[in-house]
Amino acid sequence: MNALRPSTEEPAIGQLLGIAKRRLAPALLAFAIPFAAALTVALSLPPVYRASALVVVEHTGSDPAADDVEARIHLLEERNFSRARLASLMSEMDLYPRLRAVSPEAAIDRFRGDLHVEPKVVERGWGHATATLETTCRGSDPGEAARVADSLARFYVEEDRSLRVERARRNVESLQLQLTAVGKRLSGAKPSPEPALDDLAAARAAGVDPVAIASLEKRLRANSAEITAITGKRPPPPEPEVVATPEPPSPLAEERARLQGELSDLQSKYTDQHPDVIRVKAELERLPAVPTKSPVARTPPHAAPAVPVAPALRALLVERENLRAEAARLRPAPGASSSPVAADVKATETQYATLLTRYDEALAEQTLAAGPDRDAFRVLDAAVVPAAPVGPDRMRIVFLGAVVSLFAALGIVVAFEQLDTSFHTPEELASFTKVRVLASVPHIPQAGDRGRRVRRVLLAAALTSASLAAVTTVSWKFAADNHALAARIVKGRSQP
Confidence at residue 340, expressed as pLDDT on a 0 to 100 scale: 58
Q: What is the pLDDT of residue 124?
A: 62
Q: What class does CATH assign to 49-160+376-381?
A: alpha beta
pLDDT digits (tens, 9 = 90+) for 186-206: 776 544 444 443 444 444 545
Going from the C-alpha of 453 to that of each of 113, 423, 450, the distances in angstroms are 57, 21, 5
**What value does the mean pLDDT take over residues 213-226?**
74
**pLDDT-derived band at 239, boundaries 50, 70, 90:** very low
| Per-residue pLDDT at 310 | 55
Tell whether the model's pLDDT for residue 404 goes beyond 90: yes
pLDDT at 35 over 90: yes
Asked if 19 contacts 420 with a C-beta cutoff of 8 angstroms, the reply is no
Give mean pLDDT, residues 59-64. 54
- Per residue in 284-298, pLDDT (tens digit) is 777 766 555 444 444
Domain boundaries, the chain: 12-45+393-494, 49-160+376-381, 165-373
Mean pLDDT score, 424-442: 75
Q: What is the mean pLDDT of the chain?
A: 75
Q: Output 304 or 89, whichever has higher pLDDT.
A: 89
**Cα-Cα end-to-end distance for the chain:** 48
> Environment class of residue 282 by beta-carbon count within 10 Å: exposed (0-12), middle (13-18) or buried (19+)?
exposed
Q: Return the pLDDT at 51.
A: 93
The pLDDT of residue 482 is 84
DSSP secondary structure, 172-233, as one string:
HHHHHHHHHHHHHHHHTSPPPSS--HHHHHHHHHTT--HHHHHHHHHHHHHHHHHHHHHH--
Residue-wise pLDDT tens digits, 122-151: 666 555 667 888 999 998 899 999 999 999
H/E stretch holding 133 reads strand 128-139
